[in-house]
Amino acid sequence: MKDKLIIFDTTLRDGEQSPGASMTRDEKVRIAKALERLRVDVIEAGFPAASEGDFEAVQAVANSIENSTVCGLARALDNDIDRAGEALKGANSRRIHTFIATSPIHMQQKLKMSPEQVIEYAVKAVKRARQYTDDVEFSPEDAGRSEEDFLCRILEAVIDAGATTLNIPDTVGYSVPHEFGATIAHLIERIPNSDKAIFSVHCHNDLGLAVANSLSAVINGARQVECTINGLGERAGNAALEEVVMAIKTRHDVFPCETSLDTREIVTCSKLVSSITGFPVQPNKAIVGANAFAHESGIHQDGVLKNRETYEIMKAEDVGWAANRMVLGKHSGRNAFKSRMNELGFQFSSEEELNDAFVRFKQLADKKHEIFDEDLQALISEVSTDNDEENVKLVALKVCSETGETPCATVTIRIGQDEKTGSATGGGAVDASLKAIEALVKTGATLELYSVNNITTGTDAQGEVTVRLDKAGRIVNGLGADTDIVIASAKAYINAVNKLQSQDFRQHPQSGDV
C-alpha cells in the first residue's frame, strides 16, 4: 500500500491574491464544488479576517461542502483565529491554518520581532486554534529563506502545542529542488516529535520551480502538497495542482505515494477557474493548455495513430479533455438545461432565475447551434453577475465599423434607475465602445489589460473578454462572453466597473502585521 498524498488546494485563498482575481462569495462556492468533485482533500477557502465579505465567503463554502475539509487562513493573532473558527463552524470537517514569518529578513524588517517572540506567538496561535478544531496547520512563512535550526525549534514547539500539519512554504520561490527536498528530509529527521504531524509544502513559482520543488519534497517525506488550479497565485503563482497530481499518477514508479483525486475533473475545473478569475490558460500549459494533447507535426501524428504511447504519456480523457463535447442544442428542453446546469454545480435560486437563464440559453442556441459545457459555464457567470446588486447594466450597443471610416459606438446603460446614452469614436469598434461606456460611468480607472479568448472552437464560438482596470491601486478583472466580441467587451468593461464600485476593503494576510 502506498502512502496517501494529501492535496490541499489554495486557489480560493493564495490564488485569489493574484491581482484582479478576487472572487465573489457565489463564485467561490462554485469553484469549491468543482474542487469537491475533483476530490481534493482540503480546500483553503480564504482569509476570514480580511473583510466581512471574505468571512461570508469562507462561511458559505464551509456550509456547502460535504466531503472535503474546508480551511481558513489566520495570522498568529487572536482575532484572526477567532474569525476563522467562526467562519468554519458549519463545515463537516474544518481546519485552521495559522502562520508567522520565520526568516531573518521577515522577522527583522516586517515583524520587528525577536525569534523568541515569534515562537511565543506561534505556540499561542496554535493553542487558540485548537479550541475550534483538532485539525490545525502551522506555516513558518518564508521557510525557504529561514535558518534550519530555527525551523526545527519553532516546529517542535508548535507540534507540542497541537499542530497536526506543518506546512513549509517557499514564499518567495527562492528554493531549488535538491535543496528544498533536503530541507524537508532534515526537518523530519531532526525534529524529535516530527512523527506526530504531517509535513506539507507550499511552493511559489518565481523561478518556475514550484512543481519541481513540491515533487522533490514529496520524495523526501512531505505528504501534503499545497497547490492551485492553473498555478494561480501571488506573483508568478503557486505549484499547479494539475501538474503535481498528474506527475504523481503518471510516474507512480518514482513516487512513494498516490492521491485520491478524480483526475477526469481537471479540465472542467481549470476552465471554470480561468473563466471566473479572468486569467486565461496559455495554449502550451502542461495538462490543461489547449495544445497539451494536440499533435501537430506529421511525424508525431503518424506515431500516435500507430500506437498512442509513441508520443503520449497520458490519456487526454484521463484529465477530462474528452468531456469537451456538445451537451445541449437548440431543441434541448428546460429540464435537460436545468439538470446539466445542476451537474455543473449551479443551483437556481428561484423559478424566475431558471426562466431567465433558459431564455438566455435559447438566445445563445439560436446564434450557435452546439452548446458545450464551456458555454454553459460562461452563461452561469453571466446569470450570477447580472443580478440586482449590479448597479450598472448594458441596455443597448450599436457600432459602425467600415473600411476607411472612423469606428464609432453608441451605448445605452442603466445606472441604478437612470438610463443614459452616449457615443464615442475610437481606433476600432471595441475601443469606441469602451470609451463610450467610460464617458458615462467616469471611473477614471486605467485599462491594464484587454484580452479575448474563444470559449470553444469555430467562428460562431463565444468570445470571452477579460478587462483589467486599476483605480488607485485597486485592481479588478471584468469578464464578458458573447458570440459578438464587441458586445462581450462591453459586458466585460461593465462587469469590471461594477466590481470597482462594490469591492470592500480587504486586509492582505501577508502585508505586514504579524
Q: Coil, strand or helix: which one is 258?
A: strand
One-letter identity of residue 243: E
Nearest residue to 93 via CA among 199, 218, 8: 8
Q: Is the dihedral of CA 293, 226, 27, 447 positive or negative?
A: negative
Shortest distance, position 176 Cβ to Zn ion, whole Å: 18
CA atoms within a 13 Å half-sphere pointing along the CA-CB vector of 142: 17
**Restricting to residues 35-74, which ones interact with ligand KIV according to CB under 6 A?**
none
* Strand bridging mode 370-372 / 474-482: unpaired
Of residues 201 and 469, the one with the C-beta less far from Zn ion: 201
Q: Does 224 bind ligand KIV (CB under 6 A)?
A: no
Q: Which is nearer to ligand KIV, 145 or 300 (CB)?
A: 145
183 part of the interface to ligand KIV, by CB under 6 A: no
Which residue, 14 or 80, has its beta carbon nearer to Zn ion?
Answer: 14
Among 36, 80, 141, 373, binds ligand KIV (CB under 6 A): 141
In a 13 Å sphere around the CA of 108, the CA atoms on its Cβ side amount to 4
| Nearest approach, Cβ of residue 52 and ligand KIV (Å) | 21
3-state secondary structure of 172: coil
On the 0-12 / 13-18 / 19+ scale of CB atoms within 10 A, 496 is buried
- Within 317-376, the residues that bind Zn ion by CB under 5 A are none
Cβ proximity to ligand KIV: between 234 and 243 the closer is 234
Alpha-carbon span 78 to 19, nearest angstrom: 28
* Choice between 163 and 378, CB closer to ligand KIV: 163
Residue 95 interaction partner, one of Zn ion, ligand KIV, none, beta carbon < 5-8 Å per kind: none
Cell (9 digits) for 129: 486554534
Q: Measured between alpha carbons, how far apart are the two ends of the chain, in Å?
A: 42
User: Quick check: 433 and 490 in contact, CB under 8 A?
Assistant: yes
Instruction: Pick the stretch among 8-16, 95-103, 126-134, 491-499 that binds Zn ion (CB under 5 A).
Output: 8-16
Binding to ligand KIV (CB under 6 A) within 371-430 occurs at none
Residue selected from 83, 128, 202, 468 as contacting ligand KIV according to rule CB under 6 A: 202
Distance between CA atoms of 393 and 135, rounded to whole angstroms?
44
Q: Work out what residue 268 binds among ligand KIV, Zn ion, none; the CB cut-off runs from 5 to 8 Å by kind.
A: none
Binding part of the chain for Zn ion, among 14-22, 217-225, 275-283, 479-487 by CB under 5 A, reads 14-22
**DSSP of 116-129:** HHHHHHHHHHHHHH
Three-state SS at 77:
coil
Regarding 80 and contact with Zn ion (CB under 5 A), the answer is: no
Nearest distance in Å: CB 68, Zn ion? 19
What residue 141 binds from Zn ion, ligand KIV, none (CB within 5 to 8 A, per partner kind)?
Answer: ligand KIV
Give least dist CB 139 to Zn ion, A. 9
Q: Which is nearer to ligand KIV, 236 or 290 (CB)?
A: 236
Instruction: Return the number of the residue (155 or 344) whose C-beta is nearest ligand KIV.
Output: 155
Which residue, among 181, 244, 188, has the nearest Cα to 216 in the 3D structure? 181
Binding residue for ligand KIV (CB under 6 A) from 171, 216, 453, 477?
171
Q: Which is nearer to ligand KIV, 238 or 483 (CB)?
A: 238
In SS3 terms, 196-251 reads as: HCEEEEEEECCCCCHHHHHHHHHHCCCCEEEEEHHHCCCCCCECEHHHHHHHHHHC
Smallest gap from Cβ 17 to ligand KIV, in A, equals: 8
In the bound complex, what is the minimum distance in angstroms from residue 207's beta carbon to Zn ion? 15
Q: Which residue type is seen at 427?
A: G
For 5, which DSSP code?
P
Of all helices (H) and strands (E), which one includes residue 466? strand 463-471
Residue 177 binding: pick among ligand KIV, Zn ion, none (C-beta 5-8 Å cut-off by kind): none
Using DSSP's 3-state secondary structure scheme, residue 286 falls into coil
Q: Using CB under 6 A, pick the residue from 23, 49, 59, 99 that binds ligand KIV.
A: 99
- The reply to whether 14 sits near Zn ion by the rule CB under 5 A is yes
Minimum CB distance to ligand KIV smaller for 96 or for 467: 96
Which residue in the shown chain puts its C-beta closest to Zn ion?
14
Select 106 or 491, whichever has its Cβ closest to ligand KIV: 106
CB of 7 to Zn ion, least distance (A): 16
Q: Residue 33's binding partner, choosing from Zn ion, ligand KIV, none, with beta-carbon cut-off 5 to 8 A by kind?
A: none
Which H/E stretch holds residue 393? strand 392-400
Residues that bind ligand KIV (CB under 6 A): 14, 99, 139, 141, 169, 171, 202, 204, 509-510
